[in-house]
Structure 1
Amino acid sequence: MSHENLPTIDSPSKRLLEVADFHRLADVPPEIEWFANLESFCTRRAYQKALQDFMRFTGISRPEEFRQITRAHLIAFRDELRKRDLSGPTIRNRLAALSSLFEYLCEQNAVTHNPVKGVKRPSVESYEGKSPALGDHQARALLDAPDSLSLKGKRDRAILAILLYHALRRDELCKLKVKDIQQERRGVLHMKVSGKGGKTRYLPIHPQVSGLLHDYLEAAGHGEEDTGPLFRSLSNNRNKGSVQKGITPDAVYKMVQAYSEKLGCRIGAHSLRATAATNALDHQADIAKVQEWLGHANISTTRIYDHRKMRPEDSPTFKVSY
């Protein structure tokens, strides 16, 4: 193969990347490269915390020192996390972050194997009941809690409706652009959702949600700004002409918590996702379709929300007949 096989450009001298930057990027350690390639903000934040914890424990100060890590170091780290009484999921998350890093180092031939493999992790807990689902009357009361006349109230009603009727994650809701709720497929208005792992799914928009979104956008006045954030912060967008900021996952969590407290039940945003999933399954929705609807990679995660097996009337006890 010769240089003649390479594609040509009109003017090689007009390069956008300076020579010094070209060589600097070529020398970036794979450990830094791996972290920079994590797209999800939530994943980056969780993995950063895990790596900082591990680096403090081992005394690592330079990226290259990760290549000296053995399984013995990781077992000692796991045992240290247990001594701190951290939960099983937290310990699994710490080890998962390190495993992801070492898998990348293996791909780059920086290490010969992934030392995290073989390290015993805490067993996966059943998450039933961890995010309590609301009853039908509670869900209706929550939807009615925001003021129906103010801009904030209209926005919050639309947010609560999307969480309760479409079971979005907080991060997914905050990523929504105006154009994402204007996707027509087979004559039905759909919502384009950017989920975990860069996966996209399209959800038919519930009629009640559609009405609340229309009321909100009409009051907010940004319904024509296709590429702008759908749900916007009211406190950070007071200067006209500035780049409009979308609402944050933390703000959504606090909002749900505040409205639920008024109803006498303090819950987080994930409980609304649990409510939607449980309600759909209780009304005989196909569990495989619910899995796709929720954006779950594994159907076992979806089964967490399936409480039909717990209903006394469905017990085999009442099927016995002599």
Structure 2
Amino acid sequence: MSDLILFSERRLTAAEFQQLASVPAAVEWFANIDNPRTRRAYKNDLQDFCSFVGLAGAEEFRAVTRSHVLAWRAELELRGLAGASIRRKLAALASLFNHLLENNAVAGGNPVHGVKRPRIESNEGKTPALGDHQAKQLLDAPDTETLKGLRDRAILAVLLYHGLRREEAAQLKTGDLQERRGIKHGVWGAM
């Protein structure tokens, strides 16, 4: 047991232990979502569902059935939401119910399972792809005679060649790149 305490000798008090033991399963589920944007989107999605079906408290999740989920999906479609948004909302709800089932907070299975998601359309993305000519123009735009221009060209190259999002590129460190045979490669586990 002492092997588990690596960095600190601090122990929970009895009150802290009881407080953590009484944390609702839904709160645990939210705390386990690392990405703040995903957490915010899922929170909004679940608030939308709770508002639609009229849930006032966490204990009322026990009464949710597949019919409730199907009615919500139909309402989302009537609102004209994109298929990707509807899939994300259903995924958020399914993930929460999986966690609630694992923690015996609900019984009887996940009401989202078996609810069909909208099809993924190949042209669904809203961001148009750049053609080769456009990508070359973009890479040629910075003035490579200046240090700032070289930096900007390097950033653009990383974004274009690796398909990174702006936030992912902003978090890169020099150690995230390796050179093999004169070619720079991303260390994807670090990104």
| Structure-1 residue corresponding to 2:135 | 139
User: Residues of 2 paired with 1:127 and 1:71: CA distance?
Assistant: 30
Offset, 1:88: 1.5
Percent of aligned pairs with the same residue?
A: 56
Matched residue of 2:187: which SS? Answer: strand
Q: Is the 8 A contact 1:88 1:124 kept in 2?
A: yes
- Number of the residue aligned with 1:96: 91
Is the counterpart of residue 174 in structure 1 residue 182 in structure 2?
Answer: no
1:66 matched residue in structure 2: 61
Question: Is 1:52 paired with 2:40?
Answer: no
Shift in alpha-carbon separation, 1:186–1:141, aligned structure 2, 3 A: closer
Pick from 4, 22, 28 the counterpart of residue 23 of structure 2.
28
- 1:15-40 Cα offsets, whole Å, 9 max, x none, are 34343322211111111101110123
Unaligned runs of 5+ in 2: none
Q: Distance in 1 between matches of 2:117 and 2:10?
A: 49
Which is further off, 104-113 or 28-37?
Answer: 104-113
Larger radius of gyration: 1
Distance 2:136 2:179 in 1: 28
| TM-score scaled by length of structure 2 | 0.80
Tell me, yes or no, if the aligned pair for 1:55 and 1:61 is still in contact at 8 Å.
yes
Partner amino acid, structure 2, of 1:118: G
Gaps of 5+ in 1: 1-5, 194-199, 203-322
1:164 is matched with which residue? 160
Q: Say if 2:143 and 2:150, in contact at 8 Å, map to a contact too.
A: yes
Aligned residue identity for 2:175: K
Shift of the 141–184 alpha-carbon distance from structure 1 to 2, 3 Å rule, reads closer
Alpha-carbon spacing, 1:27–1:129, altered in 2? closer, same or farther (3 Å): closer
The 8 Å contact of residues 32 and 63 in structure 1, kept in 2 or not, is answered as: no
CA distance in 1, matches of 2:152, 2:62: 48
> Per-residue CA shift, 1:45-96, capped at 9, x if unaligned?
3212211211222233433332321112111111111121111111111111
Deviations 1:247-289 (A, max 9, x none): xxxxxxxxxxxxxxxxxxxxxxxxxxxxxxxxxxxxxxxxxxx
1:114 corresponding residue in structure 2 = 110
Q: What's the Cα RMSD here?
A: 2.9
In structure 2, relative to structure 1, the CA distance for the partners of 1:9 and 1:47 (3 Å cut) is closer
* Matches of 2:14 and 2:49, distance apart in 1: 35
The 8 Å contact of residues 90 and 112 in structure 2, kept in 1 or not, is answered as yes
For residue 37 of structure 2, the aligned residue among 35, 42, 47 is 42
TM-score by length of 1: 0.50
